[in-house]
Amino acid sequence: MHDLRTSIDAPLGRPRPTLGAVDLIALVVGIVIGAGIFRTPALVAGLAGSEQALIAMWVIGGLLSIVGALCYAELAAAFPHMGGDYHFLGRAYGERVAFLYGWARLTVIQTGSLALLAYVCGDYLQTLVPLGPVGSSLWAGAAVVVISAINWLGIREGAAAQRWLTLAEVGGLILLIVAGFLAEPAPAPAGASPAGDGAIGLMLVFVLLTYGGWSEAAYLSAEVRGDRRRIATLMVGGLVVVTVLYVLANLAFLNALGLAGMAASDAVAAQVANAAFGPAGAGIIAAAVAIAALTSANATAITGARTSCAIGRQYRGFSWLGRWDERRDTPGNALIAQAAIALLLVVGGAFARDGFALVVEYTAPVFWLFLLLTGIALFVLRRRMPDVERPFRVPLYPLTPAIFCLTTAYLLWSSLAYTGTGALAGCAVLAVGAILLLFLKPHDEESLP
């Protein structure tokens, strides 16, 4: 059986360890802190029965994300590869499952996420610089093009952009936290009740959505300098930073608005900023959310193209995607293909009633399905390849990966239960990939380190 130890012809080039600790932490922090923290706290507050339950849920979300990061760190340290999950799934289940994941990432997961983040960025830039009735879509398309172009120039340019964007993103969130703690507490809305029904499951869906993206660090495992064991430290360290910021943000929102005020607000962050900075607060928040979305989009572009490149090295029909530019240390062709598909999704969203919601529905079920399969792959590879060197082993095995798998299974069920026609479209595109498998031929196999 072809085990994804794919051929790499000399002209295709190969990744080199060019990234440092700061680059990986910037990617983890930057991709996780997206627009969600500016939007979901109000939804979670509406379901929480108390302020203590609200804060506890954000702490639990951080801990569960760290559990997942530990699982990924073992896989990334044992099997470093630019394909990330694609490589792990191939070793655990064979090339067909891996191809379906790579196909889903190229056509649904990563391109859908890129389009979604571009839409968030576009929506807020439109409030600052209106471009007419389709201004949000124009801004979204421009975001995809600019980010893809920067990363096409090289990993150094992409990593530098990620560092500066993450710095600006974290700075904006810290400014909002300070504003919340300094703001005069607002009176509770008339008739509002601070007590929700304590729907832990639904709260967890919103919280973990806001923590999403940490797994992308696995795609840079072959490009990080130093001991492979440090991948776990860097991933967990990045998530600890995010968890602290998220908890502080919610404490600041509670100080400014109270639980009932948060639950009644359509825009918690904007309301806090307005209380602290007056009318200028709306502009500050719009800029902060746009930067946050752009930061996550840049990280998404970096990691997504690497999976597509891995597919190109495995299958002749996608050879064009497999070329790695050693001069710029980037998968240039894969970045172009990724940008083109993301732009098509942006155009499609422009004709939908709610482009953002459509892309969420399109992406979520397929994403959680393969995240669950990757968690199970840890068990499979421990049993199938016990002698492989594992510089890092997930602690408290098998309890830790079991918790991760149960969490992702629940989120898969939730994404199928609460999404609409967009989810069907995502599943249909995945089915097209299954049909393609009947006609694709892999490259001749060679040994890969």
Tell me: pLDDT of 350 over 80.
no
In a domain, 311, yes or no: yes
Residue 418 forms part of a structural domain: no
Question: Nearest-CA neighbor of 144 among 109, 166, 111, 105?
Answer: 111
Query: Are 359 and 119 in contact, with CB atoms under 8 Å apart?
Result: yes
Within-domain flag for 142:
yes
Q: What is the mean pLDDT of residues 212-236?
A: 80
pLDDT attached to residue 346 = 84
Q: Which pLDDT score, from 0 to 100, does residue 9 have? A: 40
Which residues have CB under 8 Å from 74's CB, separation 6+? Answer: 232, 378, 390, 392, 393, 394
What are 268-282's pLDDT values in tens digits? 888 888 888 887 877
pLDDT score of 186 = 67
Give a yes or no: residue 36 inside a domain.
Answer: yes
Q: In Å, how far are 3, 170, 242, 252, 422 from 246, measured between CA atoms?
A: 40, 11, 6, 10, 29
pLDDT tens profile 196-209: 444 677 788 788 88
Task: Answer yes or no: is 379 within a domain.
Answer: no
Q: Indicate if the pLDDT at residue 74 is higher than 70.
A: yes
- Whether residue 159 lies inside any domain: the answer is yes
**Helical (H) or strand (E) element with 110:** helix 110-128
Query: Has residue 371 been placed in a domain?
Result: no
Whether 410 is in a domain gets the answer no
What mean pLDDT is predicted for residues 164-176? 90
One-character DSSP codes across 313-367? HHBGGGGGGG--BTTTTB-HHHHHHHHHHHHHHHHHHHTSS-HHHHHHHHHHHHH
Domain range for residue 265? 21-80+110-352
Rounded CA separation 277/268 (Å): 14
**Whether the bond into 398 is cis, omega within 30 of 0:** yes
CATH number (domain holding residue 236) = 1.20.1740.10
- pLDDT greater at residue 360 or residue 401: 401
Tell me how many domains the chain contains.
1
Q: Kindly report the average pLDDT of the chain as a whole number.
A: 82
pLDDT mean over 233-254: 93
Q: 19: helix, coil or strand?
A: strand
Q: How confident is the model at residue 194 (pLDDT cuts 50, 70, 90)?
A: very low
Query: pLDDT-based confidence at 433, cuts 50/70/90?
Result: confident
Residues 121, 143: contact at Cβ < 8 Å? yes
> What Å distances lie between residue 285 and 5, 33, 145, CA to CA?
47, 14, 24
Interacting residues of 60 by C-beta distance below 8 A, sequence separation 6+: 204, 207
Q: Tell me which amino acid residue 169 is.
A: E
Closest CA to 371 of 412, 338, 403: 412
